[in-house]
Structure 1
Amino acid sequence: MAVAERPWARRTHKRRLPEGALDWITWLQEWGNAFYPLAFVWAFFEGETFVIFGGMGAKLGIFNLYWLVGTVWIGSFLGDQLWFWLGRRWGNQALARFPSAEVHASRVLRWLEKYGVAFILVFRFLYGVRNIASVAIGTSRMPWSRFLFWNFIAAGIWAWSFAGAGYLFGEAAGAIGEDGPKILVLSALGIGALVIAVKSILWVRRRALAATNPAE
């Protein structure tokens, strides 16, 4: 008796890895739903690059803009809630073991005291601050319910800002004409490479400064 071939197996046989810019678009259209869990995980830790790329894809019709925003909104919100909880539970002990992180946390607490809720709304946009900010705020006297509320609002602002920026960039690329999708994909790859390069350079510089000035 012949065994029926499973639908997912047939789809696997037909699909191939993308070879060019336009093939990337076709491939993403077929596998677009897999992007949302990846975007969630990326936003959970830290990653505006994925959100910008997703916004571009939404303009091309590859992704749903509202699903994208909702996914990264919740991912970013839950990520910072986790860091806040870790800060509330073990923050002071952990920071005491890492002097350089303690310096950054002290700076975050000064900003929190000075700017209050406004700092919670914007710290996601400050590179290298997001995770340590949530941990530091967790060590403060801020009630968890207050951080929960404003963190949810801040995550939404962050999600709409970067998804919207990507969408507008996609609209500009689409106005170029039939070469717009190709330019869009290549631009997305270029932006991703640039962001990785900048983050790597800043990370190396921070490490070098920490080694040179261990007491600061």
Structure 2
Amino acid sequence: MEDFLDHYGYIALTIGTFLEGETAILVASSLIHKGFFEGPYTVFFGFAGSFISDWLYYMIGRLNGKYFVEKRPKLKVKVAPVQRFFQHHKLQILISYRFLYGFRVIIPLIVGMSSIKPIQYLIYSIISGLIWATTISTVGYAVGRFLNVKTSVFEKNIVFIVIGFAIFGMLMGYIVKRLAFKKMSAED
């Protein structure tokens, strides 16, 4: 595991945040105090993976979003309430959507389909991405540091801790997603 992290840690972090987001950056930042990662690089590469993912979906929305959504009935059902909510809360969503687990595909897609210009989205994407990456990295670092200071459990059970972070991230994402969809449906 140490050799892999030494050689491919930041690449894995970038790919992980591209695909999943919180889980990858939480795990990486929890390992900063062990010397596997460095704080600024963890924030940067975590931000980079998320930024690339967001821009991929923004460009899909910009270039052919309506067709993309129409061809995916399950996505279409999810997009409609989010799109209505976005119309009334653009600024808040553009700054905070990365913290809304489960919406990182839908929201950039909707933003791409909206009147938000690429330069505007670039500015919001950089600001919100850096806030997100710094916040999540700080939380991961604090958890990793706490586990290291209080117990040696971290080293002995690294695999279980990584799995625990993943399960926790998915569970929190599911809960936030359900609550957000209920709120959006209630506003209709």
TM-score, normalised to structure 1, is 0.72
Contact 2:69/2:76, CA 8 A, preserved across alignment? yes
Q: Aligned residue for 1:107?
A: 81
**Out of 140, 149, 164, which is 2:114 matched to?**
140
Q: Aligned residue for 1:32?
A: 6
Structure 1 residue 169: deviation in Å? 0.2
Is the partner of 1:142 in helix, strand or coil?
A: coil
After superposition, residues 55-204 of structure 1 pair within 5 angstroms as: 55-182=29-156, 186-195=160-169, 198=171
Gaps of 5+ in 2: 179-188
CA distance in 2, matches of 1:96, 1:185: 41
CA distance in 2, matches of 1:40, 1:180: 23
Runs of 4+ residues deviating >6 angstroms: none
Partner amino acid for 1:89?
L
Partner amino acid for 1:38?
A
CA distance in 1, matches of 2:7, 2:108: 30
Partner amino acid for 2:122?
L
CA distance in 2, matches of 1:30, 1:119: 37
Contact 1:52/1:165, CA 8 A, preserved across alignment? yes
**Same amino acid, percent of matched pairs:** 24
Q: 1:194 to 1:139 in 2, by over 3 A?
A: same
TM-score, normalised to structure 2, is 0.82
Give the number of the structure whose residues are more often helix, by fraction.
2
CA distance in 1, matches of 2:153, 2:75: 46
Q: Aligned residue for 2:183?
A: none
After superposition, residues 44-55 of structure 1 pair within 5 angstroms as: 44-55=18-29
Q: 1:41 to 1:30 in 2, by over 3 A?
A: closer
CA distance in 2, matches of 1:38, 1:109: 32
Q: Aligned residue for 1:19?
A: none
CA distance in 1, matches of 2:69, 2:154: 48
CA distance in 2, matches of 1:131, 1:39: 19
Structure 1 residue 36: deviation in Å? 0.5
Contact 1:44/1:78, CA 8 A, preserved across alignment? yes
CA distance in 2, matches of 1:46, 1:177: 28
Cα RMSD of the aligned pairs, angstroms, is 2.4
Q: Aligned residue for 2:185?
A: none
